[in-house]
Amino acid sequence: MIIGIDFDNTIASYDEPMHRSAVGRGLIPAGLPKNKKLIRDAIRALGDGEAKWRELQVFSYGPGMPEARPMEGVKEFMAACKERGVDVLIVSHKTEYANFGDPAVNLRAAALGWLEAQGFVDSERFGVGRDRIFFEDTRHGKIGRIRALGITHFVDDLEETFLEASFPAGVAKILFSPQSTPGDKGGWRAFPAWPSIQQYLLGQ
């Protein structure tokens, strides 16, 4: 078993910092739930909403990256994999620089710095090592990397990844979706939390 894991909204959670930033910018009411997709939809509904949403994204994935938090249970999952000798790799669709906003913001450097600060790189308990982290410019590049690495199970928060025609048929598709009901969705299995993914892949 070789497990691949997406980064944004699968390992790193932006719900709270995005909510805080969006409220501070006057883009959403404070009572809106702290959920990235709801925040995105509310901002996109504004005048020039797509540009406002992109600005918030660049801030959250760049200068605001230190405010992100690990998804509950993901460190424990990776520690359990390490204990059992199961290989884990991080494969993310993330350009080095944003296509909009401040061109000096290096999104990959921000993500790697966060992974290092949170212990995902060098930790003896759950770190994967710098050579096990891959950032790709496009979704197709990400899927190509999944194939090249021989990944057998991939965890992602976006159904779009699994719907790509180029996604390898032999790779088990695992959707991390806190808002979803667990179970088989046809092309993939959905789980609302990391502990349930851990039980599914590793057992008790």
pLDDT > 90? residue 103: no
**What's the Cα-to-Cα distance from 91 to each of 6, 103, 144, 190, rounded to whole Å?**
5, 23, 10, 19
Look at residue 106 and give its three-state secondary structure: strand
Across the chain, what does the average pLDDT equal? 90
Q: Please tell me the predicted confidence (pLDDT) of residue 44.
A: 93
User: Mean pLDDT across the stretch 61-83?
Assistant: 94
Confidence of residue 36 (pLDDT cuts 50, 70, 90): confident
- Note whether 65 and 114 are within 8 A (CB): yes
Task: Give ∠ CA 58-62-68 in degrees, rounded to 5.
Answer: 105
State the Cα–Cα distance between residues 81 and 188, nearest whole angstrom.
Answer: 21
User: Mean pLDDT across the stretch 11-25?
Assistant: 93
Q: Is the dihedral of CA 82, 112, 14, 5 positive or negative?
A: negative
What is the tens place of the pLDDT at every residue in 3-12?
Answer: 999 999 999 9
pLDDT > 70? residue 65: yes
Q: Please tell me the predicted confidence (pLDDT) of residue 204.
A: 66
pLDDT > 90? residue 58: no
Beta bridge partners of residue 5, listed in sequence order:
90, 155
Q: Please tell me the predicted confidence (pLDDT) of residue 100.
A: 66
Q: Please tell me the predicted confidence (pLDDT) of residue 102.
A: 66
Q: Please tell me the predicted confidence (pLDDT) of residue 43.
A: 94
Least confident among 29-43, 103-117, 123-137, 176-190? 176-190
State the Cα–Cα distance between residues 5 and 79, nearest whole angstrom.
Answer: 14
Q: Which residue has the higher pLDDT, 101 or 7?
A: 7
